[in-house]
Structure 1
């Protein structure tokens, strides 16, 4: 439902519109892109261990959980094939898990951030040119990858905002733009622009101010399991279907609530297991691999010299 179709909307349309605002998955994805641009830019601002080290770190961060989620969802989906599971594990095939399109963008965005951070450190003018080119390409090409590179670019600019511009007013306006852009503007490029600008304002505010919503222990827990939960929320839904919730004879609204609460709870538990058993060891392995890569090799001649010294 959009503002143009609102006069003809049914009660069900209105209810689901408010639910959509409260649980706006599309908006959350865009916030994730902007936040990713900010976090990756900060990690590269004053240090650079090289592109190989950076790619290793990102690979060990993203791929192990993707493999685990592909195996789990593949097991829960009777018609799945090994080709789909392998493709999902490397973000190539999204037919098994539709949310993987965002991980494809994340991979390209990670490379964009590295290029931007390198340009900022070495040739600031090149960094500005890259920003201009990115926004121009997004304007000309509305396919997901070119379009959402602008979200990563905005994330890279968050720390450049003057403090006076980051306040509750801009955050509130950003939240309003993010959550209602699709209702007011309808699908299209303008909607995406408003959503990205809204996400930019929100991320800028949260990155500089303590917000209860993100400062409590439960929020920290959700942050830790957010990546596996994102990839595995479909698994929670599949498990609920297998448990036969639809056969309870509930009315549509009650079924929606039960289905939603139960599937989210199960998905959170599975996500915690994957975070503990896969994600954390994967990140540790990534740091170990980067450390080995950064350790200079010692030739026999130099070793003899050190021994003589």
Structure 2
């Protein structure tokens, strides 16, 4: 398989996973029964009920999507270092770059969301509880600065921009992986032993999200170094189907009651966690699936994915919510208003994320590169 095709597939997977996060938050805002996290959630129509109890809910599984992100991060960081002619120098350079590369866009997104909430008061009475809580939160500017620079990265604190909890996994996962990859330059056996033993450290973690996220990082690295090409398209398809099925798991869904009998309330957590590695492995190790995802529109979406991820809650509030209110006020029923608002929202996401990527992301990359040149000479 050509390296370009595989790397494009990585971008495509990331872009599609980011869409799943957006759809997840749309569903929580307007049709919370699709997740049914709360016993009080009610299905508003037969279609919503059918979807929630079907095995086809992967397309709005935000939790599975973030595990996909973590696996991809482990894979791509290992790819860059593994293909470097000077891996030790590359590790040092990437270690210096990692925090500013993540923190600059995260901080600005936090400030933008805080400003949107602070300087406006958009009616949220027509939407569901999840979006109401977002719209009515009362955070300070100092809190936005703190979470965008320190809180989210060290402690997964994300009371302003809720999605920033993943920054803790991205930063700590990167540091752990860099350390292990540095050891790999001396002993591949030691690297593999430590990676395989890492799951035994669960007693050290109070935060299951961090624990499973770090394992996902390491699984991504293992996929790069030890993954084997899937020669059978049928097996690759079955593996992907299994990953997508697990990605849609909800504890209350009838489609997962067989698994629930064994895992109980951990069904949602463990199935979504497992799905990330299965989805990534099945696609990246299959030439056919990688080629199928090597499409310009998917690759473009992947390049915008970080910006989409950071901005979509702000746009949900300042674009989707007022458009929905406008439609309801002008005679649209709930479902129609949702459809119109969602379409406008998605267009706004693409436009704003493209700008954010060109301006903020590029600035973060520029600063990161300058710091690496100064501190590591790379």
Taking structure 2 as the reference length, the TM-score comes to 0.68
Contact 1:232/1:271 (8 A) holds in 2: yes
1:63 Cα deviation (Å)? 1.4
Aligned-partner Cα distance in 1 for 2:236–2:166: 29
Partner of 2:68: 31
Alignment CA distance shift 1:242-1:189 (3 Å): closer
SS of the aligned residue for 1:167 comes to helix
Per-residue deviation, residues 223-279 of structure 1 (Å, max 9, x unmatched): 111001101101111112563531422322222222322222212211111100110
Moved more, 139-148 or 192-201: 139-148
- Counterpart check, 1:66 vs 2:106: yes
Per-residue deviation, residues 37-71 of structure 1 (Å, max 9, x unmatched): 11111122241226652232112321121122112
Aligned-partner Cα distance in 2 for 1:201–1:242: 35
- Counterpart check, 1:124 vs 2:188: yes
Aligned-partner Cα distance in 2 for 1:215–1:131: 30
Partner of 1:201: 278
Aligned-partner Cα distance in 2 for 1:135–1:75: 41
Pairwise mapping of residues 7-156 of structure 1 onto structure 2 (< 5 A)?
Answer: 11=46, 12-16=48-52, 20-45=57-82, 46=84, 47-49=87-89, 52-78=92-118, 79-90=138-149, 92=151, 93-138=157-202, 141=205, 143-156=208-221
Q: Return 5+ residue gaps in structure 1 as ranges.
A: 297-309
Contact 2:61/2:247 (8 A) holds in 1: no
Tell me: higher relative CO, structure 1 or 2? Use CA pairs within 8 A at least 6 residues apart: 2
SS of the aligned residue for 1:38 comes to helix
Contact 2:247/2:272 (8 A) holds in 1: yes
1:194 Cα deviation (Å)? 3.2
Pairwise mapping of residues 214-233 of structure 1 onto structure 2 (< 5 A)?
Answer: 214-233=293-312
SS of the aligned residue for 1:49 comes to helix
Aligned-partner Cα distance in 1 for 2:351–2:147: 22
Per-residue deviation, residues 74-120 of structure 1 (Å, max 9, x unmatched): 11012331112102321514110111111111111111211221232
Alignment CA distance shift 1:172-1:15 (3 Å): closer
Contact 2:109/2:310 (8 A) holds in 1: yes
Aligned-partner Cα distance in 1 for 2:58–2:244: 11
Alignment CA distance shift 1:164-1:272 (3 Å): closer
Taking structure 1 as the reference length, the TM-score comes to 0.82
Choose 1 or 2 for highest CA Rg: 1
Aligned-partner Cα distance in 2 for 1:181–1:77: 31
Contact 1:35/1:203 (8 A) holds in 2: yes
Partner of 2:229: 163
Q: How many residues align?
A: 292
SS of the aligned residue for 2:88 comes to coil
Partner of 2:327: 248
Contact 1:138/1:149 (8 A) holds in 2: no
